[in-house]
Every structure is written in C-alpha cells, then in structure tokens.
Amino acid sequence: MTVSAARPDVILPFSGRVGEVDYRPVRVVPRTCTVADASRYFAASDIDYLVLHDHRIPIGVVNKLDLLRRNMTRPIEPSAAIAELMTTQVITVQEDEPVLESLLFMIRHQVDFLLIMRGREVVGIVGQQDWLSLQTQYPTQLVQKIASASSIDALAGLRSEANAVVWRNFETKGDAVSLTGIVTLLNDAITRRAISLCVQDLVTLGRGEPPAPFAWIGMGSEGRSAQTVTTDQDNGLVYQDVPDDDRPRVDAWFGELAQRVVTALEVCGFQRCEGNAMATNPDLRGTQSHWEKLFERIVTTSDDKDLFEACIYFDFRYLFGKQALVGALRAHLTRTIAAHPFFLRHLVETTVQGTRPPLRQMRWRLYALTGIAPPPFDLKKCGLMPLDSAVRVLALRDGVEATATLQRLQHCLENGRISKSLADDVRKAFDFLLRLRFKLEFSAAHDPAGRSATEKHLVDLRTLPPAQARYLVDALATVLRLQERVYEQIVGRPIHWSVR
C-alpha cells in the first residue's frame, strides 16, 4: 500500500490528521469468530486485517498473512477461535489526531500498527511499514540507521542527513511544532547511540561497566523537546547514590564518560554550551543526593542572576539509562518547591524582569504610531524565552512532570490557571515564533557570508512582509499578556508599572 493524503493540499507526514491518510481497511468481528469464518472474510474481500472486539472494545488484531503462515506450518482446526492467533497489543488513535504525533509514538514505543478510530468505531489500521515510501519526509529508516551506527563518525554523517530531512520539510511548509518533534526524535536517537558507543569504548579500554545505575538528562530546549537544527548542548548526568568511599572512583568513571559523550556530540554538530550547562561540569554530574542538594540550593538561596541561569535545569528530561532516577529527581524538586512557596514569587519576578518582549519600549510604541521600524531584536531571548519561562512557572507550581511547553500549557489550562482563549492565543504565538526562528536559522544556514550565533536570531521588521510583521506584534503582545497573567497569579497583584 502507498500512503498518501486523502486531500492533495495536505503535506505528509508533518501536517494533517490521521483520518486524512489512505489507511488500510479492516473488518470488525466478535471475539468468538472462528478460523473458518475468518478465512471466508479474508477470501471474500481485499481486507488483510480482522479486528476482534468484546462489547465494542477492540481486544486484538489478526493478519491474513499470519493465518496463512500458521496453516502452512501447523494447521489449525476450522472450528477453533481465531482469537488464538490475534495480536493483543492494541493501540488506538482517533482519526482527528495529528499524523506526526501518532507516527512518533509508533517509533518511540516500537508499535507496529495503530487502529484508527472514529469515536468508538474502528475504521482502519496503519503500520510503520506503510510509511516507508515517504523516506524523504519520514525518518523511520534514519532512526533505525542511527540506532545501529557503529562509530561516532558514522553518527556525524547521519546528523547531517537528519538536518537535510528537516530542511526539506521546512521548505514544504511543515508546521514548526511538528518540525521540532522530528528534530527531537532524531537528536534523542543520536544522543542515545552516542552514549551507548562511549560506554562500549570504556568497556573495551578496560575501564569496566558503569559502576552504578545512571541516567543522562537533557535540559533547556533539549529538555523541552524544542530544539531546532542549530542547537547547543544542555545536559547532565545523575547516578545512584554510592558509599562515600566509592564516590571518587565512581565519579571518575562517569566523568570520563561525560567527557567522551560531550565530545562525541560536538563531533556530531552539537556545539558545547557557552554557559557550561553540560555533564562535564561537576555541578551537573553526580549522585541523586548531589542533584537533590543542587535543587534545594537553587530554590532556597539563589540570587537573581544564579536563578535566571539555572532555570533551564528545571526542564530536565530523561534521555538514557535508568529512568526511575529522573522520576525520583522530579518528585524531589516538586516537594522542595512546595515546601518553599516564596520561591515561585522569586522565580516569576526574576524571569519577567529579565525577559520581556520589547513592545513597551519607546521605539516600538513609535512603530505602532508611525510605522517606523524599531531596531532588530533577538527573537529567542525576547520572544520564545519569555513564553517558555512563564509557562514553566505555572508548571512548577502544579508539579507538572511534562517539560514540553505546549504540554505544560495544556496542564495549565486543565488546572484552571489560564483561560482557554489565552491558551489558544499562546499556542498560536508559540507556533508562529518557532516558525519564524526556523526561518531565521534556515536563512543563516544558507547565507554564504555566515552569521554569528547572536545574529542568526535577530529579527528586523523591515525584512518581514507586512502581514508577518503584524502577526509578530500580535504574538509578542500575547506573550506579554501571558506574563502578566502568571505574575498576578503567583504574586497576587499586577506587574508594577516600571516593569510593564
């Protein structure tokens, strides 16, 4: 089967809904269906899948090929229940769900197929193999190649291939949130393979296996699953508590691992963090107790500067190793923040004062009146960072485990922290600002003269079409509204006029 969009104006796989895909048809049968009945159903139509149900709930799937293979090797009685052959791993998805999210779920969780639902009705089935015809757009085989890469140099070549996939889809106007999903999927795969290769190297060199269970974590944009193509490293390493006598030896092993992994990622094109927010930093590599004390210190004693720089630590996300260590660390952070309620006030005051969109500045006020463009500004620092920071504050307040900004936003909406209208506006603003960031980085990547790290995120309103300039102003205004809403919720009063 060739997968294609039911509507020609839908770009797959980065936009559209599952129901717009040319999926495989199925026949729904009761769990009492016999082998004889199943054989008749398969023979009478082009359907390759039967979905068994119990009280209208799908409980299993039978593939025509599975039945044929079984009858060729060990024939089954016609009166036997076909349920003996069914696959019981049944994952369903509603037809109005985004295509990309569904496909990424299949890759991450190694799911072979998804049942497509219309309400409670099964309407079709789609499998990973059905998407292999979209190799220029869908990274199934690329993820598999990354997972089996035999060296860091091979990984570096695959990173270039991954970037090419993203840029091709950017040129076909894939939405920004979907693009970051693909970037995150590929970058996570590269990071995990790099760690595996570095661990193997240490074993080969006679350093032995990891001396304690550990987990590699991503922070900042990596933790928020919001990386773009040109991104630096923000990572850390946590390992299980060990006796004090063993700690020097254990930390020396993990210190060497961190050096190797960070270097490997640099070879693959991930620049080192200028702020040293990497596992090679002893502050960001240590036992679970070490990390717990680090978060306690940030929550209780940080000044404005330290807190502002440490905000990205709160976005930590599991990438490799023992996931339970990361879950325990998140739970400890939540308890620590709950025990120190003044911290959130300190955090919101620091982030709001440190990252405000420029709309209230005089040159921007004059732009609204005269149309004379203000100076270029940094989209990342003055647009996306304030939005991420505001949503982060509310997520930390409610102990939300999700780290992606839009997932956090959804929890804020469900918890009644913000209105639906504001949440909808924030989603639109986030997508527009992220799309504009991709555009800036795309232009920088294809600029023969080259641009510095600072210049690649500068936005000059004079270079934007009038409609985009208006959208940008609206998006920045939404970020201001969000900040003011979050500030008032946490502090209990409106933002002071001097900050507005």
* Token pair for 379: 């989209």
User: What DSSP designation does 458 have?
Assistant: E
Give the CATH number of domain 18-132: 3.10.580.10
**Per-residue pLDDT tens over the stretch 78-90:** 899 999 889 888 8
φ, ψ of residue 52 in degrees (nearest 5): -85, 140
Measure CA 492 to chain center: 32
Average pLDDT over residues 12-22: 61
**Does the pLDDT at position 94 exceed 60?**
yes
Average pLDDT over residues 350-354: 81
**Does the pLDDT at position 32 exceed 70?**
yes
Q: Is 18-132's fold the same as 341-491's?
A: no
Torsion of the alpha carbons at 336, 341, 347 and 348, rounded to the nearest 10: 140
Residue 202, exposed/middle/buried by CB under 10 A (0-12, 13-18, 19+)? middle
**Does the pLDDT at position 500 exceed 80?**
no
Higher pLDDT: 12 or 347? It is 347
Q: Give the domain ranges of the chain.
A: 18-132, 140-338, 341-491
Average pLDDT over residues 127-145: 64
**Does the pLDDT at position 487 exceed 60?**
yes
Query: Given this model, what pLDDT does residue 153 score?
Result: 94
- Please check whether residue 414 is in contact with residue 368, taking contact to mean a CB–CB distance below 8 angstroms: no
Query: Given this model, what pLDDT does residue 3 score?
Result: 36
**Per-residue pLDDT tens over the stretch 187-228:** 999 999 999 999 999 999 999 999 999 999 999 999 998 888
409 — pLDDT class (breaks 50, 70, 90): very high
Distance CA 434, CA 382 (A): 12
**Does the pLDDT at position 342 exceed 50?**
yes
- Report which of 385, 427, 386, 397 is spatially closest to residue 409, judged by C-alpha positions: 427
Torsion of the alpha carbons at 468, 474, 480 and 484, rounded to the nearest 10: -160
- Please check whether residue 379 is in contact with residue 433, taking contact to mean a CB–CB distance below 8 angstroms: yes
172 — pLDDT class (breaks 50, 70, 90): low
Strand partners, 216: 237, 320
Instruction: Starting at the earlier edge strand, list the strands of the sheet with 214-218.
Output: 285-287, 235-239, 214-218, 317-321
227, amino acid identity: Q
**Per-residue pLDDT tens over the stretch 269-314:** 999 998 899 999 999 999 999 999 999 999 999 888 888 888 899 9
103 — pLDDT class (breaks 50, 70, 90): confident
Is 213 in a helix, a strand, or coil? coil
Torsion of the alpha carbons at 118, 121, 122 and 128, rounded to the nearest 10: 30
Average pLDDT over residues 443-449: 69
Average pLDDT over residues 338-358: 89
408 — pLDDT class (breaks 50, 70, 90): very high
Domain 341-491 fold: Four Helix Bundle (Hemerythrin (Met), subunit A) (1.20.120)
Query: Given this model, what pLDDT does residue 281 score?
Result: 96
**Out of 98-102, 213-217, 471-475, which region has the weakest mean confidence (pLDDT)?**
98-102
Give the CATH number of domain 140-338: 3.30.460.10
Omega within 30 of 0 (cis) for the link into 358: no
**Out of 311-315, 472-476, 489-493, which region has the weakest mean confidence (pLDDT)?**
489-493
Query: Given this model, what pLDDT does residue 425 score?
Result: 95
- Please check whether residue 332 is in contact with residue 295, taking contact to mean a CB–CB distance below 8 angstroms: yes
* pLDDT, mean over the chain: 86
pTM for the complete prediction? 0.80
Average pLDDT over residues 369-381: 88
Count of CB atoms situated within 10 Å of the CB of 215? 23
Query: Given this model, what pLDDT does residue 134 score?
Result: 45
The H or E element spanning position 277 is none
Residue 121, exposed/middle/buried by CB under 10 A (0-12, 13-18, 19+)? exposed
* Token pair for 323: 């996931």
Distance CA 149, CA 385 (A): 35
Which residue is listed with tokens 């993990």? 254
* Token pair for 150: 């035999």
